[in-house]
Structures are given as structure tokens and as C-alpha cells.
Amino acid sequence: MPVLHLKAKPNARANHLSVAPDGTVTIRLKAPAQDGKANTCLLAYLAEVFGVAKSSLTLVAGHTAPFKKVEVEGLTEDAFRATLEQFREA
């Protein structure tokens, strides 16, 4: 099961995922970092990005930190990588 390591940045104007040339994943989230709102927004956004149900995503680590680990169920490693590749910055 693929695991996504990312840095979350709350309070953005819009949800946005970017993959730096070194492979670092950053996700800007509209939601504020309070009462779990940013984590809920993160999982909903990632479900949309990967085309899976929200229940297929599990926040494994980083519940209160900017660096997070999210497990993505129901997706092959190849499909996971291909999806991330679409967000890679030049």
C-alpha cells in the first residue's frame, strides 16, 4: 500500500498539491490548522486527487505537525506514482 510523505501548509487561498524536482510533496490547504479541519481537508483533497474514497486514506503520522504520512489504499504503486508525476514542477 503506497504511503505519501508530505508537508501540509494550511490557510492557503486554494487547495494545491506540488511535487518539487527532488520529490518533496507540499500540499497547500484552504482549511485552518485548528480542531482537525486541515487534516479533514487534506484527506478529502487527496481522495479527489487520487480518485479514491476518503475511507481509503489513513493519516498515519503527523496529526498535529506539518509533516504527515498518509496511507493510500486501493491504488497500485504505479498508479500512485503516475498521479504524483502529474503535479511535478519543472
Q: What is the pLDDT of residues 36-54, one digit of tens each?
A: 999 999 999 999 999 999 9
Query: What's the rounded Cα separation, in Å, for the pair 13 and 8?
Result: 14
Cα–Cα distance for residue pair 30/11, rounded to 1 Å: 5
Does the domain formed by 3-85 have CATH 1.20.120.450?
no
- Report which of 54, 47, 41 is spatially closest to residue 8, judged by C-alpha positions: 41
Q: Is the pLDDT reported for residue 60 higher than 90? A: yes
pTM over 0.85: yes
Dihedral sign for Cα atoms in the order 81, 87, 88, 90: positive
Q: What pLDDT is attached to residue 89?
A: 86
